[in-house]
Amino acid sequence: MVVKKRLTKQKRAILSYLKSVHTHPSAEHIYSEVKKELPLISLATVYRNLSQMAQDGHILKLELEGEYHFDADVSLHQHCICTKCKKIIDNHDSTISILAMQKSKIQGFHPTRAQVFLQGTCFECSNN
C-alpha cells in the first residue's frame, strides 16, 4: 500500500524532473538535472531520496545491467531495452504484467508486482 507522505522540496524537484521525461534516467543523470534547480543538493541526497520514493511507491527503480534507472510512471507497463543503444522504451499493456503474476506457479508465493523486460533492437538500431 502506498503511504501518502508530504514530499520535501528535494523530492518534489526530483519527481517533477522524472515526470517530465520518459527516458528512465540514472541517479547521476537526475542529479545533474535537479542540481540546476537546487544547486546545493548532493548526489548522496538524490540517491537517498530516490530509494525512499521507490519504497513509498512514488516511482519505479529498475536495475538494468548493474545500473539503477528510475521511472515516474508507476502504472503496470513493460520495458523494452535496446541492446545496441541501451535505450529503454515503455510498452503499455497491463495484461502482460497481470498475466505474468497470474501464471507464477510457486506454492505460497503471492506476487504483488511484475517487472517485465524485453531485450532486442529498437527501430533506429534495426534500420541502421
Instruction: Give the number of other Cβ atoms within 10 Å of residue 46's Cβ.
Output: 25
Contact pick of 84, 94, 111, 117 for Zn ion (by CB under 5 A): 84
Pick the closer one to Zn ion by CB: 38 or 64: 64
Q: CA-based angle 46:47:53, to the nearest 5? A: 85
CB 19, min distance to Zn ion, A: 12
Binding residues for Zn ion restricted to 21-80, rule: CB under 5 A = 71, 73
Q: Is 125 in the site for Zn ion (CB under 5 A)?
A: yes
Q: Are 87 and 119 in contact (CB under 8 A)?
A: no
In whole angstroms, give the CA distance from residue 37 to residue 92: 31
Q: Is 98 in the site for Zn ion (CB under 5 A)?
A: no
Q: Is 122 in the site for Zn ion (CB under 5 A)?
A: yes
- Nearest Cα residue to 125 out of 81, 91, 93, 92: 81
**Grid cell 528535494 — which residue?**
10
Q: Is 85 in the site for Zn ion (CB under 5 A)?
A: yes
Tell me which residues touch Zn ion (CB under 5 A): 71, 73, 82, 84-85, 87, 90, 122, 125
